[in-house]
Chain A
Amino acid sequence: MKQNNYLRTGLFLTGVLAVLICLGFFWTPYSPTAMNGSEKFLGPSLRHLMGTDNFGRDIFSRVLKGAGTTAGIAFCTVAIGAVCGTAVGALTGYFGGIVDEALMRFNDVMTAFPSILLALVFISVLGPGSKYNVILALGVVFIPSFARVTRTAFASLRDVNYVKSVRLMGAGKARILLVHMLPNTAQILLPAITIGFNNAVLAEASMSYLGIGVTPPDASLGYMLSEAQGMFSAAPWYALGTGFTIVLLVFSVGLIGEGLQRRGKEVA
Chain B
Amino acid sequence: MKKRILALLLLVSLLGTVLSGCGDGSTEQAPENGQTNGSTDAGTQGNAITVGIAQDLDDSLDPHKAVAAGTKEVMFNVFEGLMKPTSEGDLTPAIAESYEVSPDRLTYTFTLREGVKFHNGDTVTAEDVVYSINRCAEASETGVLQVEAFSVIQSVEATDDHTVVITIAEPSNEFISYMTTAILPADYDQQDTAPVGTGPFKFVSRTAQDSIVMEKFSDYWGTPAQLDKVTFKIIENADSILMSLQSGAVDLFAHLTSTQVAQLGSDFNVVESTMNLVQAMYLNNKAAPFDNEKVRQALCYAIDKQEIIDLAFDGYGSPIGSSMYPAFGKYFDDELSNYYTRDVERAKALLAEAGYPDGFSMTITVPSNYQPHIDTAQVLVEQLKAVGITAEIQPVEWGTWLSDVYAGRQYQSTVVGVDASNMTARALLERFTSQADNNFINYENDDYDALFAQAQACYDDAEQTEIYKQMERNLTEHAANVYIQDLADLVAVRNTLDGLQTYPIYVLDLSTVHYVQ
Contact = CB atoms under 8 A, between A and B. Distances in A.
Interface in A169-225: 198, 202, 205-206, 209, 211, 215-217, 222, 225
A102 interface: no
Q: Is the interface of B mostly helix, strand, loop or mixed?
A: helix
A250 B379 contact: no
A229 interface: yes
Given A35-B311, A231-B259, A246 B393 contact: no
Interface in B246-283: 257, 259-260, 262-263
A202 B394 contact: no
Interface in B13-29: 14-16, 18-19, 22-23
B242 to A, nearest CB: 7
B310 interface: yes
A32 B505 CA distance: 39
B149 interface: no
B474 interface: no
Given A215-B394, A216-B374, A225-B19, A258 B4 contact: yes
A206 to B, nearest CB: 5
Interface in B361-395: 368, 371, 374-375, 377-379, 381-382, 392-395
Contact of A217 (B14, B260, B381): B381
A37 interface: yes
B175 to A, nearest CB: 45
Contacts of B394: 129, 215
Nearest to A199: B11
A51 interface: no
A55 interface: yes
Contact of B378 (A216, A225, A229, A254): A216
Given A216-B395, A233-B242, A234-B262, A202 B14 contact: yes
B236 to A, nearest CB: 16
A13 to B, nearest CB: 13
Contact of B311 (A37, A129, A233, A234): A37
A254 B11 contact: yes
Interface string A235-252: 000000001001100110
B310 A37 contact: yes
Contact of A205 (B5, B19, B262, B371): B19
B5 A247 contact: no
A201 to B, nearest CB: 9
Contacts of B16: 243
B307 A37 contact: yes
A254 to B, nearest CB: 5
Contacts of B14: 202
A152 interface: no
A262 interface: yes
A222 B8 CA distance: 20
Contacts, number: 91
A231 B22 CA distance: 14
Contact of B263 (A37, A55, A215, A233): A233
- Chain A interface size band reads 35 or more
Contact of A230 (B259, B392, B396): B259
A261 B375 CA distance: 46
Given A54-B259, A216-B393, A254-B8, A246 B15 contact: yes
A202 B381 contact: no
Contacts of B395: 128-129, 211, 215-216
Given A33-B382, A216-B374, A217-B378, A55 B312 contact: yes
Given A215-B394, A215-B395, A251 B19 contact: no
A251 B8 contact: yes
A34 interface: yes
Contacts of A255: 8
Contact of A206 (B18, B259, B312, B379): B18
A190 B46 CA distance: 69
B288 interface: no
A246 B314 CA distance: 30
Given A35-B311, A217-B393, A198 B11 contact: yes
B208 interface: no
B239 interface: yes
B457 interface: no
A72 interface: no
Given A217-B381, A217-B393, A262-B1, A229 B18 contact: no
A205 B15 contact: yes
B230 to A, nearest CB: 28
Interface string B223-246: 000000000000000010010000
B114 to A, nearest CB: 53
Contacts of B377: 216
B150 to A, nearest CB: 43
16 contacts: A41-B262, A54-B259, A54-B312, A55-B312, A129-B396, A198-B11, A211-B368, A215-B394, A216-B374, A216-B377, A216-B378, A231-B259, A231-B262, A231-B263, A234-B259, A258-B4
Interface of B: 1, 4-5, 8, 11-12, 14-16, 18-19, 22-23, 239, 242, 257, 259-260, 262-263, 307, 310-312, 314, 368, 371, 374-375, 377-379, 381-382, 392-396
Closest 6 CB pairs of A and B: A217-B378, A233-B263, A37-B310, A254-B8, A234-B263, A206-B18
Given A55-B375, A129-B396, 7 more contacts: A55-B311, A129-B394, A205-B18, A215-B394, A217-B393, A229-B22, A234-B262
